[in-house]
Amino acid sequence: MTRVLVLNGPNLGRLGSREPEVYGAATLDDLAALCRDTGRRLDLSVDVRQTDDEAELIRWVHEAADERLPIVLNPAAFTHYSYGLRDALAQRTAPLVEVHISNPAAREEFRHTSVVAGVATGTIAGFGMMSYVLALQAVAELLAESPRDS
């Protein structure tokens, strides 16, 4: 069973209470359960993490690169300005799917640019929590097509 890191950036620990009109009522625990259940169906071992700390997120990305682990990443606000995160992600050694609950392109203009997208395998956005399910399905398909290739 392939291990996959599902990494979440700042403020996603506040899911369920943060702007429910944008992010819905599901909590981070609900999201983690959804990802783990989806992973089991896809023969993936899913490790869900969240941090508000950019340095910690970068350490997790380094861990994934060193261990050749696929990543599903919601960089949240770091999407738009964290070149340190982008540079860490450029070292990836397995598929990387950028994911967003809302559609950044349909929101404020500052959210329209992702510094992460250019180093990701692909991006899935705007489908609520289903974005994570779709991202995990994409990872499973990519692994089946070419195991351990990015």
pLDDT tens by residue, the chain, 150 residues: 999 999 999 999 988 877 777 667 789 999 999 999 999 999 999 999 999 999 999 999 999 999 999 999 999 999 988 999 999 999 999 999 999 998 776 566 766 678 998 999 999 999 999 999 999 999 999 999 975 544
Q: Rounded to whole angstroms, how far apart are CA atoms 134 and 92?
A: 20
Give 8's strand partners.
50, 74
Structure tokens at 25: 């009522």
**What amino acid positions are annotated as catalytic residues?**
23, 100
pLDDT for res 113: 78
Give 50's strand partners.
8
* Domain range list for the chain: 2-145
Are 45 and 3 within 8 A, CB to CB?
yes
- Which CATH architecture does the domain made up of 2-145 adopt? 3-Layer(aba) Sandwich (3.40)
Reported pTM: 0.91
Q: Rounded to whole angstroms, how far apart are CA atoms 46 and 41?
A: 11
Report the DSSP pairing between strands 44-50 and 71-74. unpaired
* Annotated binding-site members: 74, 80, 87, 101-102, 111
pLDDT for res 58: 98
Q: How many CB atoms lie within 10 A of CB 21?
A: 6
* Annotated binding-site members for substrate: 74, 80, 87, 101-102, 111
Q: Rounded to whole angstroms, how far apart are CA atoms 148 and 150?
A: 7
**What angle is formed at CA 134 by the lines to CA 72 and CA 83, rounded to 5 degrees?**
30
pLDDT for res 17: 78
Are 94 and 127 within 8 A, CB to CB?
no
